[in-house]
């Protein structure tokens, strides 16, 4: 059987684009609760130092569809390890730190070494480690802590920030205090990315911690969420989210026979 080649360009880069927005996590309170809906914003992020997840990822574009098994290991705020497999054979391994992203394309025998500035130039979108980490935890990203506008709506808190390049919003359920959606609009290119967090469950039956076990992402052309023409979608369904009691290994080593590929080479390949 010929194994489909798992490319960093169509899987990891697309996944990175999921997180092109950051929003504030500051509390805004008036101390009023009506019908279970609080007017105090107090987002319920996961409490952990080390976290692991297992699940399935489906990537779709206008030309292809790729189904992968994906494992992640996270040291909160420091590093994140990902392994993606087809038919139990690992095709792509990624290690993201607070300042760099490294990846091994095991089928192509290539290694990728990128700063977040490199990723930003390749994708045309702002990205950092906190944003990448949050896609697997449902935590509200820490970026832009001081300058989001908070509005109390009927069912949600909306947190919005704008500049000349983009407008981004996050929506927190007033009853559950969980992040349910992120929408970012890239004004000049009229592009929209929508991240929906779903299937909220306890991590374990006896746990008090809750997280989304499904994340759906849509990226495409449009000026509003309602008129988006989807070009890329990523659906992540997790079967396990587990807080680890001890440090977990994140093995990553670039073999000497691998070709090192940098941003300049990726740009030459028109992988933006």
Q: Give me the CATH number covering residue 94.
A: 2.50.20.10
Domain membership flag for residue 154? yes
- Which domain does 167 fall in, by range? 12-249
Residue pLDDT, tens place only, 141-182: 776 455 788 889 999 998 888 888 788 888 999 999 999 998
The total number of residues written for the chain in this structure? 272
Assigned domain for 204 exists: yes
Residue 221, φ and ψ in degrees, nearest 5: -90, 145
- 53 is a domain residue: yes
**What DSSP string describes 194-250?**
EEEEEEEEESSTT---EEEEEEEEEEEE-SSGGG-EEEEEEEEEEEEEEEESS----
Q: Report if residue 184 sits inside a domain.
A: yes
In a domain, 269, yes or no: no
Q: How many domains does the chain have?
A: 1
Residue 149 lies in a domain: yes
Q: Compute the mean pLDDT over every residue in the chain, rounded to the nearest whole number.
A: 81
Q: What is the pLDDT of residues 175-211, one digit of tens each?
A: 999 999 988 887 777 888 888 999 999 999 899 999 9
**The pLDDT of residue 263:** 83
109 found inside a domain: yes
Q: Is residue 264 part of a domain?
A: no
């Amino acid at each position: 059987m010929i194994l489909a080649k798992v490319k960093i360009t169509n899987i990891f880069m697309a996944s990175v684009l999921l997180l092109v927005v950051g929003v504030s996590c500051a509390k805004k309170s008036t101390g009023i609760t009506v019908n279970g809906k609080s007017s105090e914003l107090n987002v319920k992020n996961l409490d952990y130092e080390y976290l692991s997840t297992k699940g399935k990822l489906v990537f779709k574009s206008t030309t292809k569809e790729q189904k992968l098994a994906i494992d992640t290991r996270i040291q909160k705020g420091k590093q994140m390890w990902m392994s993606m497999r087809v038919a139990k054979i690992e095709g792509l391994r990624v290690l993201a730190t607070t300042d760099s992203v490294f990846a091994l394309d095991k089928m192509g025998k290539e290694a990728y070494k990128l700063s977040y500035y490199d990723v930003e130039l390749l994708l045309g979108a702002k990205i950092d480690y906190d944003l990448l980490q949050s896609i697997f935890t449902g935590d509200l990203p820490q970026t832009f802590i001081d300058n989001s506008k908070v509005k109390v709506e009927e069912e949600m808190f909306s947190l919005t920030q704008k500049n000349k390049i983009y407008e981004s919003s996050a929506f927190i359920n007033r009853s559950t205090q969980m992040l349910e959606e992120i929408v970012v609009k890239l004004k000049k290119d009229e592009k929209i990315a929508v991240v929906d967090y779903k299937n909220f469950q306890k991590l374990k039956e006896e746990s008090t911690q809750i997280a989304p076990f499904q994340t759906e992402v849509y990226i495409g052309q449009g000026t509003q969420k309602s008129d988006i023409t989807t070009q890329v979608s990523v659906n992540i369904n997790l079967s396990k989210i587990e807080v680890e009691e001890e440090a977990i290994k994140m093995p990553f080593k670039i073999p000497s026979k691998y070709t090192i590929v940098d941003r300049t080479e990726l740009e030459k390949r028109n992988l933006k």
